[in-house]
Amino acid sequence: MFTFVELFEMIRTRSLSYTYNSEKEIAFGDLNIAGGDQFLLLGESGSGKTTLLHLLGGLLKNQQGTIEVNGTSLTNLSESELDRFRGKHYGFIFQRNHLLAALSVEQNLLMAPYLAGLSQDKSRVEEVLMQLGIADQKRKRIQELSLGQAQRVAIARAVLNKPSVILADEPTSALDDRSCDRVSELLVSVAQQNQATLIIATHDQRLKNRIHNLIQL
Amino acid sequence: MNLFALIFAYLKARPLNTLLNILLLSLGIAMITILLLFSNQLQQKISDNTKGIDLVVGAKGSPLQLILCNVFHIDFPTGNIKLQEADRLAKHRLVKNTIPMALGDSYQNYRLVGTTRAYADLYKAELETGTWWQHDMEVTIGATVARLLNLKLGDTFASAHGLSEAGHAHEEHPFVVKGILKPTFSVLDNLILTNVSSIWLVHEHSEDEHEIVKPDSLSASVLVPTAYASDSTRELTALLLKYRNPIAAIQLPRYINSQTNMQAASPSFEAARLFSILGVGIDALTGFAYVLIFISALSIFIALYNSLKERKYDLAIMRSMGASRSKLLWATQLEGVVLTFCGSVLGVALGHLVLYLFTMLVAESQTAGVNAFVFYVEELYLLVGSVVLGIVCSLIPSWQAYRTDIHKVLAGN
């Protein structure tokens, strides 16, 4: 019974804390997040949302305590192992979409498998673009996209490698109510379609309507 | 996607900047290429043309002029030497063989040389058509002369005094073309060859005024068998001679310069002296080319450095997608190398193209035998050097890329 629970536990942290500039320490409560779960990481600015999200995503190191993702302890990974682990297991979405402006939509998406060292499957690109309703934008340059389209491309890039965990940092805070609603719906449905655990760090209370699991900082 | 696609996309995203950097570097490289081709070929030409000539003996004057006139045929004679004296020297025990040179006339800027077959043999000349000159007023012409003046077998022409078209024409003594040589890629291609006595014949009228001196003995000259050895009225411009043994190289020039009214000059020594004079100009231009390359390297460095700042989010997001630090380091290095490599390939091509246009437009460069389509191993060094340059320019930017702090960049502070 115990092993059964272990297998399905996607993210598990124990006595996690992070010290800023060797003075300000933020401690986080232990997390146990099952595979496929969707969580909101709520808190005001400066409460450590982004720090926790980056720690969970392996973007930030040197924490105290342990983080296990999909059975792997991030603390034990070397820098380059962590890079590879990120590429294979995570999808990241940020407040700004951070697409590579020099590349086309398709090239941006293909960067995900390329950098993760996976095979570049163009039909997977088609599939994801279709799921997000922007299949016709494939050849376009990033500058030619509207803000909403660009955000969808960023989401598409995050889910392309079928990650086990999707981490989103304030994906909706700059959006109006309608767009917020649409993006959150997209995130939830695309995470479900790809069987990924979704954690959204935000101070945007509007998302509570859609995701009910909360981690309050 | 791959690294090259990414780099080309980045370079294409800043087309003007990329173009400027490539162009700047290619100008420097092109300049070096041109200088390299030019000086190498000139040196090659000089050594080809002086092959087989150990010493040039002529009238006293500038030794460099003597060489330029009698070996390269681009200067005027220093004066004449007496056939008698030349004959004496030809029989010297340290001299292996000698070739007489009688200059003074030209046809359409191409020089007439009164000499012997040995002169043509010096450059391993072969006949294309016709025969060698046998009698007075018969000529065998070089390949370039035939081509550019459109001369054919049996054509006749009158030579002009001096080395310009404006010279006094000797119309009463026309020459007839008896043979045309195959190209030798030496100075011979630009010459009209005849025997020594034809040159005398053309100038006879001036010597008619002289009292004809009855020769003391009737033995024939060694150099010009048709003349008497003791004929004191006969003159030559110069003698090309070959040493019998290494001792001659030490003794002969000193003997000629001190014991006779003639001077001796070594083609290889004078050519080296000439080249060291030219070398100052070539060095100055090369220095300028290196300044251009340095500026282009600086410009590439600044472009990469600035674009790295703009790209800090790109770098961070690529790290989040699984790119390792070293991958970003290589990508930045490769971007610099692609720029410098493109620049140097373009530069080498540009250098050859410019030289080609130059040879097409400037007739003298053709007679100097400069060929734009010769490649030297140094050009390969230029390409390798440009790769090193690319690595050096992108050292600091790639280190920046390597050190990108993903958390700080993506957290937005």
Chain B residues in contact with A59 (beta carbon < 8 A): 319-320, 406-407, 410
Q: What is the mean pLDDT of chain B?
A: 88
Q: How far is B23 from chain A (nearest CA, A)?
A: 22
Count Cβ–Cβ pairs < 8 Å, chain A vs chain B: 84
Which residue has tokens 């370079």?
B11
Dist CA B76 CA B103 (whole Å): 9
Instruction: List, for residues A15-27, the tens digit of each pLDDT value.
Output: 999 988 778 888 8
Lowest mean pLDDT among A139-148, B18-27, B205-214, B343-352: B205-214
- Residues A96/A99/A105/A111 CA torsion (nearest 10 deg): -130
Relative orientation angle of helices A105-116 and A79-89, to the nearest 10 degrees: 130
The answer to the question of residue A45 being in a domain is yes
Name every residue in A having a CB less than 8 A away from some CB of B: 50-51, 54, 57, 59-60, 79-80, 83-84, 86-88, 90, 92, 94-96, 98, 100-103, 107, 110-112, 114-117, 120, 157, 169
Which residue has tokens 């804390």?
A17
The answer to the question of residue A30 being in a domain is no
| B318·A112 Cβ contact <8 A | no
Residue A188 CB neighbours (<10 A): 16
Chain A residues in contact with B318 (beta carbon < 8 A): 100, 111, 115
CATH of the domain at A54: 3.40.50.300
Dist CA B146 CA B307 (whole Å): 60
Residue A20's pLDDT is 83
Query: Alpha-carbon torsion A111, A117, A122, A125, what sign?
Result: negative
Dist CA A191 CA A194 (whole Å): 5
Residue B361's pLDDT is 86
**Could you tell me the residue range of the domain that residue A179 belongs to?**
37-61+90-216
Residue B324 near chain A (CB below 8 Å): yes
Task: List phi, psi (to 5°) of B271.
Answer: -65, -40
Judged by CB atoms within 8 Å, which residues 257-316 of B form the interface with A?
Answer: 313-314, 316
The answer to the question of residue A136 being in a domain is yes
> Structurally, how many domains does chain A consist of?
1
Query: Nearest to residue A208, comparing CAs of A175, A178, A180?
Result: A180
Inter-residue contact A133 to A168 (CB < 8 Å): no
**Strand pairing report for A9-20 and B156-157:** unpaired
| B313·A116 Cβ contact <8 A | no
A24 or B352, higher pLDDT: B352
Residue B327 near chain A (CB below 8 Å): yes
The answer to the question of residue A166 being in a domain is yes
The answer to the question of residue A2 being in a domain is no
Q: How far is A40 from chain B (nearest CA, A)?
A: 18
3-state secondary structure of B69: helix
Residue B409 near chain A (CB below 8 Å): no
| B185 has pLDDT over 90 | no
Q: Which residue of A has its CA nearest to B12?
A: A102
Chain A residues in contact with B316 (beta carbon < 8 A): 98
Residue B167's pLDDT is 63
Residue B350's pLDDT is 96
Residue B211's pLDDT is 46
Q: Can you tell me the ipTM of this complex?
A: 0.91
The answer to the question of residue A142 being in a domain is yes
Q: What contacts A185, CB < 8 A, 6 or more positions away? A: A210
Those residues of chain A that have pLDDT short of 50 are 1-7
The answer to the question of residue A26 being in a domain is no
The answer to the question of residue A106 being in a domain is yes
Query: Nearest to residue B124, comparing CAs of B167, B83, B184?
Result: B184
Residue B210's pLDDT is 47
